[in-house]
Amino acid sequence: MKVTEIVSHVLQYDLPEELGYSQQFYARRSAHLVEVRTDEGLTGWGECFGPGNIALANKAIVETVIQPMVVGRDPVDRDVIWHDVYNRLRDHGQKGMPIQALSGVDIALWDIAGKIAGLPLCKLAGGQFRDRVSVYGYGMMLRREDAACLAARFKDESVAIKDAGFVATKMKVGLGPADDIRLAEAVRRGVGDDFRFMVDANHCYTTSEALEVGRALDELGAYWFEEPVAPEDHDGYRELRTRLKTRISGGEAEFTRWGWRHLLEGRCLDIAQPEVCALGGVSEYLKVLALAHTHFTPVVNHVWGSAVAVAANLHLLAAMPPLPGGLYPSEPMLEFDTTDNRFRDELLVEPLDIQGQVARTGGFASIPSSPGLGVEPDRDFIARYEVA
Ligand code: CA
Taking only the tens place, the pLDDT of each residue in 157-178 is 999 999 999 999 999 999 999 9
Task: Check if 302 is active-site.
Answer: yes
154 and 170, same domain (yes or no): yes
pLDDT tens figures, 105-131:
999 999 999 999 999 999 999 999 999
169 and 300, same domain (yes or no): yes
Q: Which residue(s) pair with 12 in the sheet?
A: 30
Q: What's the CA-to-centroid distance between 227 and ligand 1, angstroms? A: 7
The predicted model scores a pTM of 0.98
129 and 115, same domain (yes or no): no
Distance CA 222, CA 187 (A): 10
DSSP H stretches of helix in the chain: 52-60, 67-70, 78-89, 97-117, 121-124, 147-163, 177-191, 207-220, 234-243, 256-265, 276-279, 281-294, 307-318, 342-345, 354-361, 379-385
Q: What's the CA-to-centroid distance between 275 and ligand 1, angstroms? A: 10
Q: What pLDDT sits at residue 174?
A: 98
User: Residue 330 above 90 pLDDT?
Assistant: no
What domain range is 78 assigned to?
A: 3-119
> Considering its fold, how many domains does the chain have in total?
2
Between β-strands 333-337 and 132-138, what pairing exists: parallel, antiparallel or unpaired? Answer: parallel
User: Residue 336 above 90 pLDDT?
Assistant: yes
Distance CA 134, CA 236 (A): 31
For residues 118 and 371, the answer to whether their CB atoms sit within 8 Å is: yes
Q: What's the CA-to-centroid distance between 315 and ligand 1, angstroms? A: 20
Q: What pLDDT sits at residue 177?
A: 98
16 and 152, same domain (yes or no): no
Q: What's the CA-to-centroid distance between 359 and ligand 1, angstroms? A: 24
How many C-beta neighbours within 10 Å does residue 350 have? Answer: 12
pLDDT tens figures, 269-310:
999 999 999 999 999 999 999 999 999 999 999 999 999 999
114 and 208, same domain (yes or no): no
What's the CA angle centered on 251, arms 245 and 255, to 5 degrees?
160
Nearest to 27 by CA among 45, 40, 13: 13
Indicate the average pLDDT of the chain: 98
84 and 156, same domain (yes or no): no
The proportion of the chain whose per-residue pLDDT surpasses 90, expressed as a percent, equals 99
235 and 183, same domain (yes or no): yes
Residue 339 lies in a domain: yes
220 and 360, same domain (yes or no): yes
How many C-beta neighbours within 10 Å does residue 384 have? Answer: 12
Distance CA 232, CA 252 (A): 12
Distance of CA 67 to the CA centre of its chain: 24
Residue 271 lies in a domain: yes
Total length of the chain = 388
37 and 160, same domain (yes or no): no
In the listed set 65, 94, 119, which residue is the last one of a domain according to the structure?
Answer: 119
Q: What pLDDT sits at residue 113?
A: 98
Nearest to 48 by CA among 100, 6, 94, 99: 100
Residue 372 lies in a domain: no
Task: Find the catalytic residue in 9, 32, 203, 302.
Answer: 302
Q: What is the CATH number of the domain that holds 325?
A: 3.20.20.120
Q: What's the CA-to-centroid distance between 277 and ligand 1, angstroms? A: 14
Q: What pLDDT sits at residue 271?
A: 98
Residue 50 lies in a domain: yes
Give the pLDDT band of residue 255 (cuts 50, 70, 90). very high
85 and 177, same domain (yes or no): no
Residue 359 lies in a domain: yes
Question: Which letter does DSSP use for residue 281 in this model?
Answer: H
Q: What's the CA-to-centroid distance between 1 and ligand 1, angstroms? A: 38
28 and 110, same domain (yes or no): yes
User: Residue 6 above 90 pLDDT?
Assistant: yes
In the listed set 119, 151, 166, which residue is the last one of a domain according to the structure?
Answer: 119
In the listed set 119, 146, 172, which residue is the last one of a domain according to the structure?
Answer: 119
What number is the average pLDDT over the span 69-78? Answer: 98
What's the CA angle centered on 291, arms 267 and 88, to 5 degrees?
115
What number is the average pLDDT over the span 314-338? Answer: 95
85 and 32, same domain (yes or no): yes
pLDDT tens figures, 139-154:
999 999 999 999 999 9
